[in-house]
Amino acid sequence: MHTKTIDYLTQDELKQLLKAIESKRAKNGVFTAPKKLVDPDDILTLEDEAALREGLAQIRRGETVPWKEVKKRLRL
């Protein structure tokens, strides 16, 4: 079982944990903690997965531009 010390939780993780605990608290004060907290922003949509697959395919085909060239084209 993986545990994480409170000292190492980010503010967002701590808020999520406290919210999860509060939502699971029973009338007798006993609660069950969720097995895993998941940030909705960390979940890929089907569209995200398709875009990722296409990007990886482009890399495999060599359809890339060096970062220096990108900056030059964008005048950065």
Q: How do the domains of the chain map onto residue ranges?
A: 1-37, 44-76
Q: Is the pLDDT of residue 70 over 80?
A: yes
pTM of this prediction exceeds 0.85: no
* pLDDT for res 24: 65
Residue type, 43: I
3-state secondary structure of 65: coil
pLDDT in tens, 6-62: 566 777 877 887 777 776 665 566 666 666 677 777 788 889 899 999 999 999 999
3-state secondary structure of 31: strand
Could you give the CA distance from residue 66 to residue 76 in angstroms, rounded to a whole number? 14
What pLDDT band is residue 1 in, cutting at 50, 70 and 90? very low
